[in-house]
């Protein structure tokens, strides 16, 4: 797509037939950054999105760009706060404001359910995501080792949901 055109983008709630497309997005980003894949452990949520996100009261959406699923994001509830998960997009559509659409959808969901704040954890390698979070009022709250197969270091972010 030429740089002067804007893709037709829409956020849609996840449906089970979208599973393979979501897995493909997250897996491609993991390959891009050199992360290992663990379908039975760290990535098992992607193989059963309804059980891991919808059943406990959360939500999951896909980003449809020109008729193709090209991004995703999920949210889970945790008492008075919610947690952002799996905000991923294909590399060829980054930098066009589409990550903002996904994040805004998640933030609006949290606000509508009166959560006090949103938490996000993100691998230290994902600088574009960190910039997006900070631009949207998140603050850095620390670091942790992730339970992923790489034992990655993650930055933690927090944002009030007034």
Answer yes or no: is 21 within a domain. yes
CA dist 137 and 84 (Å) reads: 14
Answer yes or no: is 126 within a domain. no
pLDDT of residue 6: 55
Answer yes or no: is 129 within a domain. no
pLDDT of residue 36: 79
| Number of domains, the chain | 1
CA dist 137 and 14 (Å) reads: 26
pLDDT of residue 20: 98
Answer yes or no: is 162 within a domain. no
CA 52 to chain centroid, in Å, comes to 14
pLDDT of residue 4: 42
User: pLDDT digits over 21-46, tens only?
Assistant: 999 999 999 899 888 788 887 789 99
- Phi, psi angle pair for 159, to nearest 5°: -140, 125
Q: Which domain holds residue 30?
A: 9-116
Tokens representing residue 82 in the block? 């919610």
Low-confidence ranges of the chain (pLDDT < 50): 1-5
């Amino acid at each position: 797509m030429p740089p002067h055109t804007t893709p037709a983008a829409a956020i849609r709630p996840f449906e089970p037939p979208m599973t393979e497309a979501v897995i493909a997005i997250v897996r491609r980003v993991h390959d891009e950054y050199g992360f290992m894949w663990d379908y039975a452990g760290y990535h098992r949520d992607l193989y059963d999105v309804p059980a891991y996100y919808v059943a406990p009261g959360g939500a999951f959406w896909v980003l449809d760009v020109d008729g193709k699923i090209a991004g995703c994001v999920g949210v889970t509830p945790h008492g008075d706060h919610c947690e952002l998960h799996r905000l991923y997009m294909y590399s060829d559509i980054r930098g066009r404001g589409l990550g903002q659409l996904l994040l805004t959808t998640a933030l609006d969901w949290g606000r509508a359910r009166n959560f006090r704040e949103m938490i996000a954890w993100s691998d230290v390698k994902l600088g574009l995501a960190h910039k997006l979070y900070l631009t949207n009022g998140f603050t850095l709250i620390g670091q942790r080792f992730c339970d992923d197969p790489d034992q990655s270091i993650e930055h933690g972010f927090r944002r009030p949901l007034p």
